[in-house]
Structure 1
């Protein structure tokens, strides 16, 4: 990612020169600037004009959903696709905090979705604010560099409108680092009946609320879809990008960060018989289209075979203890959390594919509006399991279904093709800072992968790390297993590292604060999922000992050390 040898830097610069006559526009000076930044930690003179950025972060969009997104697949053909893109924490709020700050949870302080539990600010917006997350975020760094910054969509858990004593809704606090801020309240999970903040028309610092009421159940499909959160996100994203592009043409580059609610499950059904994953009505089955809309593939052709590892027996995944060189079996951490039938899993998979059509329309609108000097970055906050690993629907585990995410980048100087470098979501902030002509902030634990945009074979990271803190499940927790009665707190705390050789996980099976009960899992990716825990047979092999050293060093690493550990 950030470790680029001199020969690779030269290759990046040469590639930028050779590619200048090709494509839709000249190669962006920011790519060459990023290559120069790789040679030195000194400040980089920002190119003029500086590029703009549109970052789209989907919600729970696991990799198999990409096949259902026509526009995203088109972007893959013209942009950089990262096959080894991961998130440092496969849970919504910690992952988003990590994306904003370029820091893993143990550095940014946001360890779970919600506050409470061990410590007053374990997670959610309270922890982000308490640890100065807004001030550390990459948008704040760009704003200080003269960028206009705008946010739209789902922000952080527990960042919600307040209530007066009479029950009236009041705007949430202003978040530093954003010139325009349109967060959509947690009712957006349900698809209808939510609030949106705006800075426009306020006449000073502060936010005002815009109510998007839920239409009556008797309303037509068209009326319901006009108020659907995915439709409003699409319209607002296109309008913001169009206006910001005009500013960029006048010399003010911009950052637009769009966070969708799709493909997250609802919490409360908007109407009777609403599916767990509520798509727009235009994408649901109808008399005109009995199968519904799953993009370029018929919904009926989406099967559970698309879910890598579905149906694999989880009994051989049981963790192992290691004491004085002796390996013994540990208690299985996967306590019963319900049974998701094959029929239910298939229904939810297809509903999720229908749900992301609203995201694909958002990408289509943005693609039409943004100019050749704007980078478009599309990814997800985490993946999602639907029956794999003996679990129901959800995320939070260190496994491929939950930690691997789509990552596609288009823009000036980007050479189309697939990349094999390991990339984490904590690398997005320093990458964008590099492309903007800045030296990444020293607090970033991630490293820029900007060089790989112009050079498919640029040096990059060889290791990726994951961490998870077992946390409380509060009433209304949006990330409990949807519709299963399961609980997110079934997943123990862990830290993990993966390379091309395999995945090593250290679990803490003792959920009591201040106490530990460490057990291990080790997987080789001879199959594209976590097939069998081979820790007992291979724990003493050199590559495993090396993984273990890196894992133990990651637990409390500071930014510079964190970056070194990925090499």
Structure 2
């Protein structure tokens, strides 16, 4: 204990001597796209014999976990890229912040973590994937941005430098990391916020050349809940071809039919781990490591055959759980694990808290800093999950409540699809208790909790959501046989 106190005091004195206050750390916020919570080797090792991807190695991300804090129950409130990225910025539920799908621009950017940190004297910069629709131009709230339009592309992607498109060469996440590192070097004497948003691992998965064959020979394992079929299977008409959520063709499991996709996905995330290592090496070389907070997370999870699904959107664990690692040597302990529920909604208020800046009243999330420092008595034990139907995707509007040990999933207008799970005994969500006597008490409890969360968050089905394909009875349009894959 004495050694820890003396070490912290030494760091504070060193920072003071360099003119930097420990109350104003540099902040580097890194997040990936579609990275499952278990796509970390530290999690695979923790899962032991149940690990599905034990061959996946992320030494640099594991370093963040060992030198910082790992949140083991981090979730998103909407498992979709643009909605989640909007929530990361402004700590608002998507039924309120204007983004309910992947093709709408973020019009309200007046109050975000970037605008508030800039007011507090931070030099703010954004690198990589913005993805609020196909927005172009300098990223709002940031003094500097080197970003690409929409999904961009994995190789030789044009990069907009403060809104002006310029060519680039190489794998896009390598390029974004190089741009971020150059910015850090050029602004090392300032207090900075750097957001580094990767394209990986969004599909179609294209790893860097150096990792195209890294996982070519590893053994792939089917998930235990691959045949726990989702209730709306084949129930929604869509013209979209090759929908990840569509039933798989006869002659093999989901995993067998998507073998190469899985290998490429992890090859891309291997490249991400290396780029995180490059950032860590830069901080070490500039002696900025002690008073720089690094937050690593993702915008949502991803299915690889669980419930027979690909993609995300649905309210099952593999879709809504994300990695969350935080390292802050000057202030936070090493190797701490936190099991309380934290959300992407909490990112913005946490960043401000780290900087000693009060969160705006519009923010709906809570800072997790008091959790790290054991200074909080009451914390959430449930949260509202929402997803709104998108045109040409065979996933219905979803409203769910997730507690520490259970989950209720509702599909407005389709009560027959409702799901109820006891996660303590059924973590794979394979046994639906909704219409069972066994689940009656739990169902009543979660229905009450859902009503409370709806009221607390001001839940509504927003007018800017895509209209649902309903028939005259208010039910989802059933697919025509000729439109089925």
- Name the counterpart of 2:211: 283
Deviates more, 1:190-199 or 1:255-264: 190-199
Gaps spanning 5+ residues in structure 2: where?
A: 42-56, 238-244, 460-485
* Counterpart pick for 2:4 among 4, 19, 25: 19
Is the 1:29–1:47 Cα contact (8 Å) retained in structure 2?
A: no
Alignment of 1:247 onto 2:168: no
Check 1:552–1:457 CA distance in 2 against 1; reply closer, same or farther (3 A cut).
closer
Q: How far off is 1:520 after superposition? A: 2.1
- Name the counterpart of 1:536: 435
- Name the counterpart of 1:478: none
User: Equivalences for 1:46-445 in 2 at 5 Å?
Assistant: 50-67=24-41, 68-114=57-103, 124-125=104-105, 128-129=106-107, 132=108, 134-160=109-135, 172-186=136-150, 188=152, 190-199=153-162, 207-212=163-168, 227-244=170-187, 246-248=188-190, 253-266=191-204, 277-285=205-213, 292=214, 300-301=217-218, 303-305=220-222, 307=223, 309-314=224-229, 318=231, 333=235, 337-339=246-248, 341-370=254-283, 371=288, 372-391=290-309, 393-411=310-328, 412-415=330-333, 416-445=335-364
User: Equivalences for 1:379-528 in 2 at 5 Å?
Assistant: 379-391=297-309, 393-411=310-328, 412-415=330-333, 416-455=335-374, 459-473=378-392, 489-509=393-413, 519-525=417-423, 526-528=425-427
3-state DSSP of counterpart to 2:326: strand
Deviates more, 1:448-457 or 1:358-367: 448-457
Alpha-carbon distance in 1 for matches of 2:395, 2:147: 29
Alpha-carbon distance in 2 for matches of 1:460, 1:356: 32
Q: How far off is 1:106 after superposition? A: 1.2
Alpha-carbon distance in 2 for matches of 1:109, 1:421: 28
CA offset digits 1:336-367 (Å, max 9, x no partner):
81416432333222211111122112211111
Alpha-carbon distance in 2 for matches of 1:279, 1:102: 31
Check 1:471–1:341 CA distance in 2 against 1; reply closer, same or farther (3 A cut).
closer
Q: How far off is 1:197 after superposition? A: 1.3
Is the 1:140–1:177 Cα contact (8 Å) retained in structure 2?
A: yes
Alpha-carbon distance in 1 for matches of 2:22, 2:9: 19
Alpha-carbon distance in 2 for matches of 1:176, 1:28: 36
Is the 1:152–1:181 Cα contact (8 Å) retained in structure 2?
A: yes
Q: How far off is 1:457 after superposition? A: 8.7
Alpha-carbon distance in 2 for matches of 1:457, 1:318: 39
Is the 1:304–1:346 Cα contact (8 Å) retained in structure 2?
A: no
- Name the counterpart of 1:480: none
TM-score (norm 2): 0.79
Is the 1:444–1:559 Cα contact (8 Å) retained in structure 2?
A: no
Alpha-carbon distance in 2 for matches of 1:184, 1:24: 42
Q: How far off is 1:232 after superposition? A: 0.6
Is the 2:255–2:304 Cα contact (8 Å) retained in structure 1?
A: no
Alpha-carbon distance in 2 for matches of 1:548, 1:18: 50
Is the 2:225–2:429 Cα contact (8 Å) retained in structure 1?
A: no
Q: How far off is 1:104 after superposition? A: 1.1
Is the 2:254–2:308 Cα contact (8 Å) retained in structure 1?
A: no
Alpha-carbon distance in 2 for matches of 1:548, 1:28: 53
Is the 1:421–1:459 Cα contact (8 Å) retained in structure 2?
A: no
TM-score (norm 1): 0.68
CA offset digits 1:318-337 (Å, max 9, x no partner):
48xxxxxxxxxxx9757881
CA offset digits 1:455-491 (Å, max 9, x no partner):
3997532112210000224xxxxxxxxxxxxxxx211
